[in-house]
Structure 1
Amino acid sequence: MNKNGVSVFQTIWRVCNLFMSVFFSLATYVQINDPDAALWMVGYAIPAVLCFLIFCQQQITESLLWRRIADLHVLVASTFGVILAWKLYKEGITDIFQQEEGRECCGLLLTVFWLLLCRHSGRSSTIGSVRIFTAVGISVFPFVTWLYYYMNKELRKHWPEHCTTAL
């Protein structure tokens, strides 16, 4: 605990939510060239705002409005994620990052996992170590993956144009 009564884990938790807010905001931005941009921009903007609210005030996860919005987003994203996963399975696609549906499915999965991890994180003054280590791993993964694909043009050569021109 520091002199303000905030634990190191709480600070790490808030920083992880800031990172995820930035990531989801970037994901919202790169959807601008997508044929169905509005759908995906909303799909990433909602978690971006919810994560930013946690960064600003950790106890926000206990408010009814935050929980209802997060629950609705988890429900919708899970439904679309299952539909996309079924499509990938039916078509026998194994290299999911090379298919737009695979990247979309992974993005939905990431929003669902993160929002479920955030649920009730403001309930107590302590954040558990399992939640913190999971949060650090999840919040670092998308940035490392994005950087890896951005640096390796060979991996992006078969992507549609709208996936390669936003950043």
Structure 2
Amino acid sequence: MESGADSTAKAAKGPPSPPSQGASAARRLWRFSNLIMAVFFGLAGAVQVNDPDPGLWIVAYSVPAALTLVVSINPSIADNIVWRSLSDLHSAACVMGSAILGYSLFANSQKNILHEEEGRELFGLVIVTVWMSLCRSSAKTLGGIRLAIAIFLSVFPFVMWLYIYVNAEMRASWPSHCKTVI
């Protein structure tokens, strides 16, 4: 039960104030970053058709593409139990895949990590895992460092694709199925 003083204090405060301009801009940036990442994950899944194990990688990128697209449309969905369960399950699989690829790279790597197929696959899984973690935590709070990381991560894959496209010598040692996607 509320005392008279408590209810008077609540009445004096009035209705909650509308979100500030900064908070509104942060939400728009977050939604736009999710849209960009949904496009990236969709493209990453689409280029896997010529990979030796396309089914695995198409799923690895299509699931976060769909989850991220939904968050770009309705950010509060990240608090839904079904969305969280799918995200957690996919993230756990990506962490396991990252561990396996990381071990393989550590044991067998002979070149720069981007010259190794496992290195590029590892980077993809890490991006998926970090993005899903950001989406999951966005249901509680978003701003500051998380938003900065989101903006950086949403631009980073496209900058890397552009860098690799411009530097043809970087692709020279790649297997043929990797050379045809750019």
TM-score, scaled to structure 1? 0.92
Residue 32 of structure 1 deviates from its aligned partner by 0.7
Q: Tell me the equivalent position of 2:4.
A: none
Residue 160 of structure 1 deviates from its aligned partner by 0.8
Unaligned stretches of 5+ residues in structure 2: 1-19
1:148 aligns with 2:160: no
Note the aligned Cα RMSD (angstroms): 1.5
How does 1:65-144 map onto structure 2 within 5 Å? 65-93=82-110, 95-123=112-140, 127-144=142-159
Q: Distance in 2 between matches of 1:159 and 1:51?
A: 30
Aligned-partner residue type, residue 139 of structure 2: G
Measured at CA, do residues 92 and 34 of structure 1 come closer, stay the same or move farther in structure 2, by a change above 3 Å? closer
1:166 aligned counterpart, secondary structure: coil
1:63 aligns with 2:96: no
Q: Tell me the equivalent position of 2:51.
A: 34
Task: List structure 1 runs of 4+ shifted beyond 4 angstroms.
Answer: none
Percentage of pairs with the same residue: 42
When Rg is computed on C-alpha atoms for both structures, the one with the higher figure is 2
TM-score, scaled to structure 2? 0.85
* Bigger relative CO (Cα 8 Å, ≥ 6 apart): 1
Contact 2:109–2:116 at 8 Å: present in 1 too? Answer: no
Residue 123 of structure 1 deviates from its aligned partner by 3.2
Count of aligned residue pairs for this structure pair: 163
Residue 138 of structure 1 deviates from its aligned partner by 1.0
Residue 94 of structure 1 deviates from its aligned partner by 5.1
Residue 120 of structure 1 deviates from its aligned partner by 3.2
Aligned-partner residue type, residue 138 of structure 2: S
Unaligned stretches of 5+ residues in structure 1: none
Q: Distance in 2 between matches of 1:164 and 1:154?
A: 11
Q: Tell me the equivalent position of 1:50.
A: 67
